[in-house]
Amino acid sequence: MEIRQVDAKQGLQWLLSGFYLFRRTPLGWVFICGALLLIAISAALIPFAGSFIFTLIYPALLGGIMLGCRDLEEGKPLEITHLFSAIESHLAALITIGGIYLTGLILVSGLAAVIGGPQMTDMLLYGKRVDETELMGVMSSMLTSLLILLTLSIPLMMASWFSPMLVVFHKMPPIMAMQQSLYACLRNIIPLSVYMIVLTILIFLAVLPYGAGLVILFPTMYASMYVCYKDIFLGEPIRFKDNAHSNPVQWNDSQKSSQENTNNNENANTDKPQNENSESKKQE
């Protein structure tokens, strides 16, 4: 399996192709994302441990969504049961990914809290007021801790971005999957940056009409993650078995030109015997 480096414009193409996947079965996507949101809300109601539990099981739920994308590509219906389909066979590996991510997040948050100092912690958690003379120092410490939190959290997110797909589709061990995911994100940092910038703008626009746009955007985002995985790790466009005679969605111009060259070579091979037969007839 080769990790490809794609063009910057693919960051936008992933979202467009993700929306194309969403249009295949919008009702199924709404049910799956609604169930995922319901699980997140239910976990948040559990005091203290709820967010930790959801972080642990989230890679397993994401792996199930990716299996649903593959079944949708194969012409099968997308059902709400896909959300839990990865738990049956890959639960241990996916929970391990969630545990590593949770541990790293706790360490990074703890480091940011230590750098920020107790005054910042009291102000953020308990709403404690500080004097004007102390405010500048607290704000400086808060900015430093925020920069450290972002700097260390981004590689952690990169390591967990593709790892559920690699575990589910390629049966990789969790540590190796996170390493491959980090390397793939670093190699494609430019298209992923374009992807995140466009996604941030779309989230802002989706929230404006009382959050109604999120009903479309969240399924599109999860579908685009599957498209992104196929583009970087497999170098394949999305293909639907029930639409085999139509042209698949093209990732870039290079693939299109390569297909045209292949078709030209096939036409040349088919024309060659006819020329040979005509020449032989002339000689006779």
Q: Which range among 95-99, 136-140, 165-169 shows the weakest confidence by mean pLDDT?
A: 136-140
What is the pLDDT at residue 130?
62
Between residues 116 and 64, which one has the greater pLDDT? 64
Average pLDDT over all residues of the chain: 83
Share of the chain above pLDDT 70, in %: 77
Cα separation, 77 vs 22, in Å, equals 12
Predicted confidence band of residue 209 (pLDDT cuts 50, 70, 90): confident
Residue 7 backbone dihedrals phi, psi, to 5 degrees: -75, 165
Cα separation, 275 vs 259, in Å, equals 25
Predicted confidence band of residue 132 (pLDDT cuts 50, 70, 90): low
Q: Are 259 and 235 in contact (CB under 8 A)?
A: no
77 secondary structure, DSSP code: P
SS3 75: coil
Q: What is the dihedral of CA 197, 33, 82, 189, to 10 degrees?
A: 10
End-to-end CA distance of the chain: 54
List, for residues 254-277, the tens digit of each pLDDT value. 444 444 455 555 554 544 444 444
Q: Which range among 110-124, 143-157, 250-264 shows the weakest confidence by mean pLDDT?
A: 250-264
Helix, strand, coil: what percent of the chain each, to 5? 80, 0, 20
What is the pLDDT at residue 29?
96
Residue 167 backbone dihedrals phi, psi, to 5 degrees: -70, -45
Q: Which range among 61-65, 201-205, 280-284 shows the weakest confidence by mean pLDDT?
A: 280-284
Residue 214 gets the label, from left (phi > 0), alpha (psi -120 to 50) or beta, of: alpha
The residue count of the chain comes to 284
List, for residues 8-58, the tens digit of each pLDDT value. 999 999 999 999 999 999 999 999 999 999 999 999 999 889 899 999 999
75-97 mean pLDDT: 92
What is the pLDDT at residue 237?
81
pLDDT of 124 strictly over 90: no
Cα separation, 284 vs 277, in Å, equals 11
What is the pLDDT at residue 110?
86
Closest CA to 71 of 37, 21, 13: 21
